[in-house]
Amino acid sequence: MSSIDSIMDVEFDPAGVAVLRPGTDLLETGRAGLHKAFHKVLAQSPAAVIIDLSAFTHVPPLIQMTLLALAVEAAREPATPLLLCAPDEDVARSLSSNESTMRVYSSMDEARRTLVSDPYTTEWIYRPLGRSMDAPSIAACHVADACAVWRLSRILMAARAVTFDLVWMACGPYDLHLTVTLHAERQLLVNVRNYPAAMAAQSRGGNTRIRLKPMAEAKIRDDGATACGQLVNGAGVAWWASVDCQTAT
């Protein structure tokens, strides 16, 4: 049995949905083992992926952030729906706190019913911004183009303003990387990373989620963001904000 098989039980149902059931070794193996197991399944082009966390009464913050990263990765073309099953109320509450970017359900039956009644794809774009002084304006244009393609004219101006300010705050000694994700047409998540090029696609160590300085947070929220903050780890810093597709004006 491989190290991947020992921490993750995987099965495919007749509809092509992959169900992943992590073992308790997941907490010891950490994010590297979860990434390997997930990518092994994703390479088989499942119709959707459900991660069953029924065996857990606690999910460490590092694993929570890894699950959030996997949700973004699954959203890349071809987009693959990723759902989490978490019957434990505390686990479900902690996972659901990630600004609606992860779909969390209380049972496998509920998750499966959702796939049948509300199939969805998650739109996603990635753009390297380099270190140009024009990076904030370029990023804002990328987001505006994405909003136009995704028919989100209602939030286009808010998304542009939020992105411009995020990139302006993120400018630093390293190349900037812009990721924009639309989750089930409810939340637009804008993420700007200031990482060395060699670490742009992978972070080292755990993520620490912190709030922006009061004036910066007020500015981003005035632009139209419903939430914002920073993620700090050994690789660098990521600035993020979410825009509600239903309430932004």
63 and 9 in a common domain:
yes
Name the H helices within the chain: 3-7, 26-29, 31-42, 61-74, 89-96, 108-117, 135-149, 156-170, 214-223
Residues 70 and 151 in one domain: no
Question: Among the three residues 66, 85, 117, which one is the final residue of a domain in this structure?
Answer: 117
pLDDT of residue 249: 53
**Is 196 in the same domain as 103?**
no
117, 144, 172 - which closes a domain: 117
Report how far residue 229's alpha carbon sits from residue 240's, in angstroms, rounded to the nearest whole number: 6
Positions in the chain whose pLDDT score sits under 70: 1-7, 24-30, 75-79, 97-101, 118-122, 184-186, 195-211, 233-236, 247-249
Residue 249 falls inside a structural domain: no
Report which of 164, 183, 185 is spatially closest to residue 239, judged by C-alpha positions.
Answer: 164
What CATH number has the domain bearing residue 215? 3.30.565.10
Phi-psi region of 149 (alpha: psi -120 to 50; beta: other; left: phi over 0): alpha
Does one domain contain both 70 and 34? yes
Q: How many Å from the N-terminal Cα to the C-terminal Cα in the chain? A: 53
Q: What's the domain count of the chain?
A: 2
Same domain for 150 and 209, yes or no, is yes
Phi, then psi, of 241 in degrees rounded to 5: -155, 150
DSSP 64-98: HHHHHHHHHHHTSSSP--EEEE--SHHHHHHHHTT
Residue with tokens 């709030």, as numbered in its chain: 211
| Final residue before a domain boundary, out of 53, 83, 117 | 117
**In which domain, by residue range, is 130 found?**
123-244
**CA 44 to CA 23: how far, in whole Å?**
21
Q: Same domain for 139 and 199? A: yes
pLDDT of residue 73: 74
**Would the pTM of this model clear 0.85, i.e. be above it?**
no
On whether both 141 and 231 belong to a single domain, the answer is yes
